[in-house]
Amino acid sequence: MFYDHKIYRAPPDSGEMILGWTLPSLLDRVCKDSPNPHALNQWTLTGWKSLSNQELRIAAEEIGLGLRDLQLEKGERVALLLHSDANFCIADMACLLAGLVDVPIDITQTIEHIIFILRHSETKVLIVSNLDLLYQLVPYLWDTTDLHTVIVVDVPSDWQEVHRQQLICSLGNGEQGEETRHGHWQAKEIPQELCLCLPEFCSPMGGEKSCPEIPQCIQVFSLDEIRARGAMQTSPEQLQQISSSIAATDLATIIYIPGATGKLQGVMLTHENLSANALAMFTGNKLTYGAQEVVLSFLPLTHVFARVLLYGHLYYGHSIYFSHPQRVLKHLQQVRPTIFATVPLLLEKVYEKLLETGKKRRGRSQPLSILFNWALKLAQRYELGNPPTGVYARMLHLANRLVFSRWRSLFGGRIKYLVSGGASLKAEVANLFAAAGMEILQGYGLTETSSAVTCNRGKFNRAGTVGVPLPGVEVAIAEDGEILIRGPYNTQGYYKNPEASKQLIDGEGWLHTGDLGEFTPEGFLKITGLKKSRFKLSTGKYVTPEPLETKLEQSPLIGYAIAVGSERKFCAMLIFPDLQQLDLTAQTMGINLPTEELLQHPCIIALYQTLVDEANCHLPYWSTVKRFQLINAILTVENGMLTPDGEVMRAKVLEVYSQQIQAIYNTQNSKTKKNGNGQAETEDILASLCPSIPQASCPAFAKSLNS
């Protein structure tokens, strides 16, 4: 039963639901109707390198046929361990054109998670950006039973020599058995010089298994070599045969995200899921076709948000420039995009900088300072959906000419739309940017819904909301406040996990998001909280609290551990020590202090830091606990912090300890200095004051790739 007995749908004139398109057909249309010589633009050390949409299609066709020449059948999986650049776009489209299912892997994932994805998805081919990434994986590839080919995109100029001397070794004479572990490659059929030399690198995970004496043969090629193989077979008849075999309802990709327990789950999405979602978003904003729309892309294409936007921009023939988080501010000035998609974190940083500038100039008598603060106050009064009139409208017009143009120059000066996704954006940020002529289009969705299911667009834009439903989507609010979604963009389910799929989508087709929300009287969705424990950071990354909390609570020194960080920059932890056990431990360390002083002692903090570091092991760096706060309190049923069956009342804890949480994010924790990997450096404390506290260790395969 729904909370208000109502199902919400897209309002009139807010876009179109267009079904029946495969993803390659989006590229076919633009090559025919909106050719663009600068469709893809890749930054290099020597400048921007451009690729037309026609060149993109040719490259994808040739690589796609080259992949099929590796004995891949329709629907088999190809993993993409690639940077989010033009090469990702080419490899992705090549797989889709060839009728293959690609599996994008975040290059910041841990090595053990990457190996799990390769095994679970039964990946046959891995496409990797460069040899640096490959070398980090090689010691563990012996445990990927289906993998038979690795393709390297960027190879050195002496590739053939590197290939011969460093990567390959003899598989054997074929007498050891004709069938390899993946089942259909016979050793005697494989040229010995093409086999990846796994024994040279072999380093078993966890030490429980030993490397096989004769592992399966994994061949290694450069992407250019695969393309050359495909080019030799390219013909209109061959391409037509493959194209006609691909249906919009075919599986296009499997995207792995953390489940409720932290275990990765593969979200299955079809061509139609993704293409229809992109077209619904773009038609709702009435974007123009052709190269006059310039896009700067820096978000990870392994995430569905950036990837669906990519398909939309390809279909519309826009000029896409691929940047990187470390270069994006510089590239904004160079490229001067008209459309820029980002996460709330960047927009909020710009907002805070403007407020900080206004605060510094407050009280100054210089005309520029007075003018800046006058314009800032005007912008802070602005409200989306309430068009300014009269004197206020005229003042805004003047401020636009004198001040707001400088604000827009931070984004290159030509911005039409700022697209914000991945996490919620503060209403005051959206209003201020809109006042300055930079409209922010915020949306809401999940990987399981092919990206957005609601978004602000056109005249349907209100700050503090995530917009109105997309065409074709039905949204309802359950009695407990959970947001339910039904429509053509919903996933088929989780790969090889029917039980989790049944929990996700009920018998009536409603997908249970795990998020809490409500609709405004105008029909705009507002996110009000979380039903599930999994949350998103302001960077758009998922954090799954249970594994962290469970690991920490296994220590007798910890009563309860509660992860926080929803819509924040990083994950933090509230730790409620077992005070009795802590007191006993402190005495053995020669520390005898009142509780409050004890919780501030460097050795006690170092002791808990070691526990946190151990819990962080096996997690990608962005989901690890960066800071924690020891709380002098006990959670009980009587104080409302626990349910009668002992479960933590998260909402209550977050409310009661909101000041402590805010303090974590407001101040730099001087006791736990951070290094580049986000791990706490406690060596100085341990060495000088606390020699009895062991340091946490974490094996290489349990850490994020060095990307």
- Domains in the chain: boundaries: 23-246, 544-702
Contacts of 130 (CB under 8 A, 6+ apart): 152, 153, 154, 155
Average pLDDT for 31-53? 94
Segment 121-138, tens digit of pLDDT: 999 999 999 999 999 998
| CA atoms of 94 and 246, how far apart (whole Å) | 13
Lowest-confidence pick of 143-157, 201-215, 369-383: 201-215
260 — pLDDT class (breaks 50, 70, 90)? confident
Identify the pLDDT of residue 364.
Answer: 75
Average pLDDT for 320-326? 94
What are the structure tokens assigned to 514, written together?
């795990």
Identify the pLDDT of residue 272.
Answer: 98
Contacts of 211 (CB under 8 A, 6+ apart): 142, 198, 199, 202, 203, 204
Identify the pLDDT of residue 432.
Answer: 97
Segment 91-125, tens digit of pLDDT: 999 999 999 999 999 999 999 999 999 999 999 99
Q: Which CATH architecture has domain 544-702?
A: 2-Layer Sandwich (3.30)
* Single-letter amino acid code for the residue at 375: A
Identify the pLDDT of residue 203.
Answer: 55
Q: 3-class SS at 208?
A: coil
Buried-exposed string 168-200: b where 16+ CB fall within 10 A, e elsewhere: beebeeeeeeeebbbeebebeebeeebbbbbee
Alpha helices in 505-638 (DSSP H): 545-553, 579-588, 595-598, 602-616
Identify the pLDDT of residue 690.
Answer: 78
What are the structure tokens assigned to 618, written together?
């096996």
Identify the pLDDT of residue 174.
Answer: 39
Average pLDDT for 466-488? 96
| CA atoms of 356 and 11, how far apart (whole Å) | 39
Identify the pLDDT of residue 200.
Answer: 56
| CA atoms of 461 and 418, how far apart (whole Å) | 13
Contacts of 330 (CB under 8 A, 6+ apart): none
Running DSSP on this structure, what letter comes out for residue 11? P
Write the Ramachandran bin of 44: left for phi over 0, alpha for psi from -120 to 50, otherwise beta: beta
**How open is the CA angle 31-86-148, to the nearest 5 degrees?**
105
Contacts of 689 (CB under 8 A, 6+ apart): 602, 603, 606
Residue 305 burial (10 A CB sphere; 0-12, 13-18, 19+)? buried
484 — pLDDT class (breaks 50, 70, 90)? very high
Identify the pLDDT of residue 667.
Answer: 66
Measured in whole angstroms, the distance separating CA 274 from the mean position of its chain's CA atoms is: 16
Question: Do residues 8 and 475 make contact, with C-beta atoms less than 8 angstroms apart?
Answer: yes
Q: Please choose, from the candidates 678, 567, 669, the residue with its C-alpha nearest in 3D space to the C-alpha of residue 617.
A: 678
* CATH topology (fold) of 23-246: Rossmann fold (3.40.50)
Running DSSP on this structure, what letter comes out for residue 49? E
Does residue 692 register a pLDDT over 80?
A: no
| CA atoms of 339 and 313, how far apart (whole Å) | 10
Residue 691 burial (10 A CB sphere; 0-12, 13-18, 19+)? exposed
Contacts of 125 (CB under 8 A, 6+ apart): 67, 70, 72, 77, 78, 79, 147, 148, 149, 150, 151
Does residue 188 register a pLDDT over 80?
A: no
Average pLDDT for 221-250? 94
Which residue(s) pair with 673 in the sheet?
681
Q: Is the dihedral of CA 17, 23, 26, 32 positive or negative?
A: negative
Does residue 210 register a pLDDT over 70?
A: no
Element spanning 354, H or E: helix 344-361
681 — pLDDT class (breaks 50, 70, 90)? very low
Does residue 299 register a pLDDT over 50?
A: yes
The number of helices, as runs of H, and strands, as runs of E, in the chain is 25, 28
Other Cβ atoms closer than 10 A to 496: 14
What are the structure tokens assigned to 348, written together?
């909020």
Does residue 173 register a pLDDT over 50?
A: no
What are the structure tokens assigned to 68, written together?
């099929």
Lowest-confidence pick of 39-48, 263-272, 683-692: 683-692
What are the structure tokens assigned to 696, written together?
């946490």
Number of residues written out for the chain:
707
Contacts of 326 (CB under 8 A, 6+ apart): none
Average pLDDT for 371-398? 95
The pair phi, psi for residue 164, each rounded to 5°, is -75, -40
Identify the pLDDT of residue 195.
Answer: 75
Q: 3-class SS at 55?
A: helix
What are the structure tokens assigned to 609, written together?
């830091």
Q: Please choose, from the candidates 255, 45, 220, the residue with its C-alpha nearest in 3D space to the C-alpha of residue 135.
A: 220
Does residue 266 register a pLDDT over 90?
A: yes
Q: Please choose, from the candidates 121, 94, 128, the residue with its C-alpha nearest in 3D space to the C-alpha of residue 23.
A: 94
More confident residue, 688 or 624: 624
What are the structure tokens assigned to 568, written together?
């924040």
Q: 3-class SS at 204?
A: coil
The pair phi, psi for residue 703, each rounded to 5°, is -110, 165
Percent of the chain at pLDDT exceeding 70:
90
The pair phi, psi for residue 417, each rounded to 5°, is -140, 135
What are the structure tokens assigned to 492, written together?
């088929």
Model confidence, pTM: 0.90
What are the structure tokens assigned to 564, written together?
């926080």
268 — pLDDT class (breaks 50, 70, 90)? very high
Q: Is the dihedral of CA 121, 125, 131, 137 positive or negative?
A: positive
Does residue 674 register a pLDDT over 60?
A: no
Does residue 525 register a pLDDT over 60?
A: yes
CA quadruple 418, 460, 437, 435: dihedral, nearest 10: -120
Percent of the chain at pLDDT exceeding 90:
72
Could you identify the residue written with the tokens 């914000």? 420
Question: Do residues 657 and 574 make contact, with C-beta atoms less than 8 angstroms apart?
Answer: yes
Does residue 47 register a pLDDT over 60?
A: yes
Which range in 182-186, 233-237, 504-508, 676-680 is most confidently predicted, on average pLDDT? 504-508
| CA atoms of 548 and 564, how far apart (whole Å) | 11
For 492-498, the CB contacts below 8 A with 24+ separation are: 492/251, 492/268, 492/269, 492/270, 493/268, 494/259, 494/265, 494/266, 494/267, 494/268, 495/120, 495/121, 495/254, 495/265, 495/266, 495/267, 495/268, 496/120, 496/266, 497/265, 497/266
Does residue 365 register a pLDDT over 50?
A: yes
Identify the pLDDT of residue 190.
Answer: 41
